């Protein structure tokens, strides 16, 4: 019994497993405590290759700029305001007078307002035949002139973008109804314009509206309308754009 207890108490401790060498598990051994990390050092050849790549990119960029620069310099930006159509409002109004049933307004605005279209719309969609002229103002805004003998409340409200009446404004010795959307769009309406209704609508300033409205009144009162003289060098045929005639 004594021998048995001695053997069990004197069991040998198994030997420790040998330590794996650094890198055997695919991971680097941590740096020793207190030692700075090792910084990689490029060799002279590697540094030369890196510098050559950067210098090559800079040279390629300079060559590309030098190649395109002459093309840009040989095509300067245009100094004009672009193409401006020569619209002869009086001549187009003369052509439209026969189907309009009234004398379309062709106000003489001199060189201050430039027309960019003039046309007779037969009103196929709206049911209201309309004489229309678009004007560019001296401040490069826009005012559309619309004239008809068949105005109705629905059509008028559509043309002024549902703007309420905010007052009246005198132009050409006549009181025009002023409507303002409050968002930059405004309209001046002359309800009794020689048996027709005239609407000026757009985003221009009120003084520009007043100037154009006064020219419209002068034209209506003179009775010239479409009978106004045509400016030289322009043709009416190029500006007439009537809508298709309504089906009977």
Between 28-32, 35-39, 171-175, the lowest mean confidence (pLDDT) is in 28-32
pLDDT bucket at 12, cuts 50 / 70 / 90: low
pLDDT bucket at 248, cuts 50 / 70 / 90: very low
How remote is the C-alpha of 59 from its chain's centroid? 39
Residue 224 is predicted with a pLDDT of 46
The separation between the first and the last C-alpha atoms of the chain, rounded to the nearest angstrom, is 133
* CA distance linking residue 70 with residue 72, whole number of Å: 5
Q: Is the pLDDT score of 137 beyond 50?
A: yes
pLDDT bucket at 232, cuts 50 / 70 / 90: very low
- Asked whether 141 and 202 are in contact (CB, 8 A), the reply is yes
- Asked whether 164 and 218 are in contact (CB, 8 A), the reply is no
Between 12-21, 66-75, 102-111, 132-141, the lowest mean confidence (pLDDT) is in 12-21
What proportion of the chain, given as a percentage, has pLDDT over 70?
64
Between 13-27, 96-110, 139-153, 224-238, the lowest mean confidence (pLDDT) is in 224-238
| Most confident among 11-15, 58-62, 206-210 (mean pLDDT) | 206-210
Q: Is the pLDDT score of 246 beyond 50?
A: no
Predicted confidence (pLDDT) per residue in 157-216, tens digit? 999 999 999 999 999 999 999 999 988 899 999 998 888 999 999 999 999 999 999 999
Closest CA to 127 of 101, 100, 151, 98: 151
Residue 229 is predicted with a pLDDT of 38
- Asked whether 92 and 231 are in contact (CB, 8 A), the reply is no
Q: Is the pLDDT score of 20 beyond 90?
A: no
Contacts of the segment 69-78: beta carbons below 8 A, 24+ positions apart = none
What proportion of the chain, given as a percentage, has pLDDT over 90?
44
Residue 43 is predicted with a pLDDT of 74
pLDDT bucket at 38, cuts 50 / 70 / 90: low
Secondary structure class of 159 (helix, strand, coil): helix
Q: How many CB atoms lie within 10 A of CB 29?
A: 11
* CA distance linking residue 140 with residue 133, whole number of Å: 16
Q: Does residue 16 or residue 142 have the better pLDDT?
A: 142
pLDDT bucket at 65, cuts 50 / 70 / 90: confident
Section 85-112 average pLDDT = 89
Between 41-55, 57-71, 170-184, 230-244, the lowest mean confidence (pLDDT) is in 230-244
């Amino acid at each position: 019994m004594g021998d048995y207890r001695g053997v069990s108490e004197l069991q040998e401790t198994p030997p420790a497993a040998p330590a794996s060498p650094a890198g055997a598990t695919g991971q680097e051994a941590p740096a020793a405590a207190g030692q700075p990390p090792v910084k990689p050092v490029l060799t002279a050849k590697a540094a030369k290759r890196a510098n050559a790549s950067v210098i090559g990119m800079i040279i390629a960029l300079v060559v590309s700029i030098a190649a395109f620069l002459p093309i840009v310099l040989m095509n300067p930006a245009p100094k004009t305001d672009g193409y401006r159509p020569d619209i002869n409002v009086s001549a187009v109004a003369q052509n439209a007078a026969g189907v309009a049933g009234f004398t379309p307004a062709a106000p003489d605005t001199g060189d201050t307002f430039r027309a960019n279209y003039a046309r007779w719309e037969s009103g196929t969609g709206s049911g209201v035949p309309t004489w229309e002229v678009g004007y560019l103002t001296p401040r490069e805004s826009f005012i559309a002139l619309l004239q008809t003998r068949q105005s109705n409340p629905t059509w008028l409200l559509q043309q002024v973008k549902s703007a309420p009446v905010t007052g009246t404004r005198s132009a050409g010795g006549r009181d025009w109804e002023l409507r303002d959307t409050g968002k930059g769009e405004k309209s001046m309406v002359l309800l009794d314009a020689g048996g027709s209704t005239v609407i000026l609508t757009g985003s221009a300033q009120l003084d520009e509206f007043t100037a154009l409205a006064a020219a419209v009144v002068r034209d209506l009162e003179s009775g010239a309308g479409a009978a106004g003289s045509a400016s030289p060098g322009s043709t009416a045929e190029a500006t007439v754009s009537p809508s298709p005639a309504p089906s009977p």
